[in-house]
Amino acid sequence: MFGIWKGIFLAAFAGCCWGTMGVAAQYLFENCRFEADDLTALRLIGAGILLLLISAVSEGPRSLFLPFKDKRNIRDILIYGVGVLLIQYTFFIAIHASNAGTAAIMVGFGPLMIMFYMAAAKHRLPSAKELFCLVLAVSGVALLVTKGNFDSLDIASAGAFWGIVSAAFGAFCTVQPKAVIERIGVSLVVGWGMVVGGTIACFFTDPFSMDVDWTWASVGCYLFIIAFGTVAAFWCYLRSTMYVIPSISAILGSFEPFSAVLFSFLILHTTFNGYELFGAAAIITNMLILVWPDKNAIKKLSAEKSQ
């Protein structure tokens, strides 16, 4: 039971890290002339290097080369790195083609995709509780990102298509690295994966020639994005899949927009309206329901982990 609580906390904390990262990124875009493509490349490279340095200090420099002793590890890390890059790239395309509200709601279909995968590949049908929590999560995200104004959504647009593609990559990167994580650990998988993704991004953009305003505030925001919005977020999220099934981790990722709205209010003085409060309440309710799984769910989860 403690492991399930730990997994839920890690997944929710990861969502909060991603949400607060969005606030920092918004500040850089609006006040320091940063561009999304360049920030994505710098974010992945910086976060990957930081995570590998932490691994070198905690486990020894030789641990960094552990993945290269097995061709399976190299293959899985390369695939994961490409996936991480494509999550970011397709999400930005979705926003550019439509708006942030459409993109965020389409990405919210990621947990549903994971549930379908679990049903098809693992012969595990989603429970009524998981489906209900999925509805709460998607509804909460919809209310938070649109503020109740659904006229801003263009579901038939190219933005909706790329948002769903981003959700698919997100679902893939939740399930795909589980085997390699079990072999070499979360830190090395995420660290090398981000270095791979960031390096590939540099072939399409030159983030080191950015014409931006480097101030104490922008440096602080960038370091926050690296340390918390990327390293801590991805590490906690993937670590959570070791304790709870991926669909629950993905559902708890709905804390990302919730924390983004909350910290936008606290830091950027953005105001809430009634729809956003209902959305926040739906997301909190979603977590409270998942925190207390029934006995049958615990037995089922324990059986899956033992396989």
Q: Which domain holds residue 144?
A: 2-306
Q: Give the C-alpha distances (Å, rounded to integers) separating 63 from 39, 69, 179, 199.
A: 29, 11, 18, 21
Query: Residue 225 is encoded by which pair of tokens?
Result: 């994005």
Per-residue confidence (pLDDT) for residue 155, from 0 to 100: 56
Give the Cα-Cα-Cα angle 218, 86, 37 (nearest 5 degrees).
Answer: 30
Rounded Cα–Cα distance for residues 253 and 249 (Å): 6
Tell me which residue has tokens 């490409």: 82
Per-residue confidence (pLDDT) for residue 305, from 0 to 100: 46
Residue-by-residue pLDDT tens, the chain, 307 positions: 556 778 878 888 887 787 777 678 778 877 888 887 888 888 889 889 988 998 888 888 888 888 888 899 999 999 999 998 998 788 767 766 765 555 666 666 676 777 777 777 777 777 777 778 778 777 877 776 666 776 655 555 676 688 778 888 988 888 888 889 888 888 889 899 999 999 998 888 887 787 888 899 989 989 998 888 888 887 887 788 777 776 666 666 666 666 666 666 666 666 667 777 787 677 667 666 755 555 555 455 455 444 4
Amino acid letter for position 21: M
**Residue 290, Cβ density class (10 Å: 0-12 exposed, 13-18 middle, ≥19 buried):** buried
Helices (H), the chain: 2-31, 36-59, 71-97, 100-107, 110-121, 128-146, 158-175, 178-184, 186-202, 216-226, 233-240, 246-252, 255-267, 274-291, 295-306
Phi and psi at 147, nearest 5°, equal 55, 25
Q: How many domains does the chain have?
A: 1
Q: Give every CB contact of residue 15 below 8 A, 6+ residues apart in sequence.
A: 233, 237, 252, 253, 254, 255, 256, 258, 259
Of 88, 86, 91, 68, whose CA–CA distance to 189 is shortest? 68
**Residue 137, Cβ density class (10 Å: 0-12 exposed, 13-18 middle, ≥19 buried):** buried
Question: Which long-range contacts link 53-60 to residues 24+ away (Cβ below 8 Å)?
Answer: 54/187, 54/231, 55/187, 55/188, 55/191, 59/187
Rounded Cα–Cα distance for residues 184 and 69 (Å): 11
Q: Give the C-alpha distances (Å, rounded to integers) separating 224 from 21, 23, 104, 241.
A: 7, 10, 22, 24
Task: Compute the radius of gyration of the chain from its Cα atoms.
Answer: 19
Per-residue confidence (pLDDT) for residue 298, from 0 to 100: 47
Of 286, 288, 14, 292, whose CA–CA distance to 134 is shortest? 286
Question: What is the C-alpha end-to-end distance of the chain, expressed in Å?
Answer: 18
CA 10, 12, 15, 20 torsion: positive or negative? negative
What tens digit of pLDDT does each residue of 19-68 get?
777 678 778 877 888 887 888 888 889 889 988 998 888 888 888 888 88
pTM attached to this predicted model? 0.70
Spell 229-239 as b/e; 16+ CB within 10 A means b: bbbbbbbbbbb
Cβ–Cβ < 8 Å for 126, 118: yes
Cβ–Cβ < 8 Å for 177, 246: no
